Amino acid sequence: DTAVSQTPKYLVTQMGNDKSIKCEQNLGHDTMYWYKQDSKKFLKIMFSYNNKELIINETVPNRFSPKSPDKAHLNLHINSLELGDSAVYFCASSRNGEKLFFGSGTQLSVL
Amino acid sequence: GENVEQHPSTLSVQEGDSAVIKCTYSDSASNYFPWYKQELGKRPQLIIDIRSNVGEKKDQRIAVTLNKTAKHFSLHITETQPEDSAVYFCAAGGSRGGADGLTFGKGTHLIIQP
């Protein structure tokens, strides 16, 4: 059973579209995250949620909106997609901010 | 916030030799320092971690050392094998009870030459 699962694995879309990425964890962790990995492989945190409450919102355009319906799910919605949004987006979860477990990633390509 | 610097960005070693990757961090409140390995097209996976109350930790061919005073920590891989080829990330976190998640270094591309 996959501990942290995210869908879709690949997302190819046109500029200006709105898209969502879903993430679920079955580890019973209390904190979930979204990380962005750019073409240079740099992993940068975007959001952190603890028990459905937003903890971190790094300098991310407000076109990105996380939604956590319960502590096992953290979805990412992106409005008005831009070329620069192309990257791999990783969901992750942890207990107390340690030992992050990552999902398999969503490769987003904006054309 | 935390800032993590990682060196080198690329490291090429002969199979069987040792590899060392070094990181520094800025936030003295950080107390948790993991290392992740990411193979091409895959997710980062935790390979070893260390907490600030420990100076060194070893797991088979990999070891991590931490110098809290100097705010630097290192990953050591001995007897390198082709399957060690990957991108390695150091990270720091644990301040504010872990609420800030982990701050990652920019990664080291380790190449094992046969």
Contacts of B87 in chain A (CB under 8 A): 41
Q: What percent of chain A has pLDDT over 90?
A: 71
Query: Which residue on chain B is closest to A31 by alpha carbon?
Result: B99
Contacts of A33 in chain B (CB under 8 A): 101
User: Which pLDDT belongs to residue A1?
Assistant: 61
Once rounded to an integer, what is the mean pLDDT over residues A38-43? 90
Among A55-64, A81-90, B17-26, B53-62, the least confident range: A55-64
Which residues make Cβ contacts (< 8 Å) with residue B34, sequence separation at least 6? Answer: A98, A99, A100, B46, B48, B49, B50, B90, B91, B93, B102
Tell me the pLDDT of chain B (114 aa) as tens digits. 889 999 999 999 999 999 999 999 999 989 999 999 999 999 999 999 999 888 999 999 999 999 999 999 999 999 999 999 999 999 999 877 666 789 999 999 999 999
A60 touches chain B (CB under 8 A): no
User: Which pLDDT belongs to residue A8?
Assistant: 97
Closest alpha carbon to B100 in A58, A59, A62: A58
